[in-house]
Amino acid sequence: MKLDQIKERAKQLNIKTGKMKKAELVRAIQLAEGNEQCFDSGKAVTCGQDNCLWREDCD
Protein backbone atom coordinates (compact mmCIF):
# COMPACT_ATOMS: atom_id res chain seq x y z
CA MET A 1 0.00 0.00 0.00
CA LYS A 2 1.30 3.43 -0.89
CA LEU A 3 2.05 6.03 1.77
CA ASP A 4 -0.69 8.36 0.53
CA GLN A 5 -3.26 5.57 0.96
CA ILE A 6 -1.97 4.82 4.45
CA LYS A 7 -2.17 8.49 5.42
CA GLU A 8 -5.74 8.64 4.14
CA ARG A 9 -6.69 5.61 6.28
CA ALA A 10 -4.99 7.24 9.27
CA LYS A 11 -6.99 10.44 8.73
CA GLN A 12 -10.20 8.41 8.72
CA LEU A 13 -9.24 7.18 12.18
CA ASN A 14 -8.34 10.70 13.38
CA ILE A 15 -4.62 9.90 13.58
CA LYS A 16 -2.36 12.90 13.07
CA THR A 17 0.23 11.70 10.59
CA GLY A 18 2.75 14.54 10.87
CA LYS A 19 6.15 13.23 9.86
CA MET A 20 5.46 9.63 10.82
CA LYS A 21 7.17 6.97 8.73
CA LYS A 22 5.21 4.19 7.05
CA ALA A 23 5.79 1.60 9.78
CA GLU A 24 4.82 4.06 12.52
CA LEU A 25 1.63 4.96 10.67
CA VAL A 26 0.63 1.36 10.12
CA ARG A 27 1.22 0.51 13.77
CA ALA A 28 -0.83 3.55 14.85
CA ILE A 29 -3.65 2.37 12.57
CA GLN A 30 -3.40 -1.15 13.97
CA LEU A 31 -3.69 0.24 17.50
CA ALA A 32 -6.66 2.47 16.60
CA GLU A 33 -8.42 -0.54 15.08
CA GLY A 34 -7.82 -2.63 18.21
CA ASN A 35 -5.27 -4.92 16.60
CA GLU A 36 -1.78 -5.94 17.68
CA GLN A 37 0.86 -3.41 16.63
CA CYS A 38 2.98 -5.98 14.85
CA PHE A 39 3.68 -4.43 11.43
CA ASP A 40 7.33 -4.73 10.39
CA SER A 41 8.26 -6.44 13.65
CA GLY A 42 9.62 -9.62 12.12
CA LYS A 43 6.55 -11.66 13.09
CA ALA A 44 5.05 -11.99 9.59
CA VAL A 45 5.98 -15.66 9.29
CA THR A 46 4.46 -16.61 12.63
CA CYS A 47 1.65 -14.10 13.19
CA GLY A 48 -1.08 -16.20 11.58
CA GLN A 49 -2.82 -13.12 10.19
CA ASP A 50 -2.89 -14.17 6.54
CA ASN A 51 -5.78 -11.81 5.70
CA CYS A 52 -4.14 -8.75 7.27
CA LEU A 53 -4.42 -5.59 5.19
CA TRP A 54 -0.70 -4.93 5.71
CA ARG A 55 0.51 -8.50 5.08
CA GLU A 56 1.96 -7.80 1.64
CA ASP A 57 4.26 -5.06 2.98
CA CYS A 58 5.12 -6.70 6.29
CA ASP A 59 8.49 -8.26 7.14
User: In a structure prediction context, what are the per-residue pLDDT tens digits for the chain, which is 59 residues long?
Assistant: 899 999 999 999 999 999 999 999 999 999 999 888 899 988 888 888 888 888 888 86
Q: What is the pLDDT of residue 25?
A: 95
26-32 long-range contacts, Cβ below 8 Å, gap at least 24? Answer: 26/54, 26/57, 30/54
Amino acid at 11: K
- Kindly report the pTM of this predicted structure: 0.86
* CA distances in angstroms from 59 to 19, 34, 54, listed in the order given: 22, 20, 10
Q: What is the pLDDT of residue 32?
A: 95
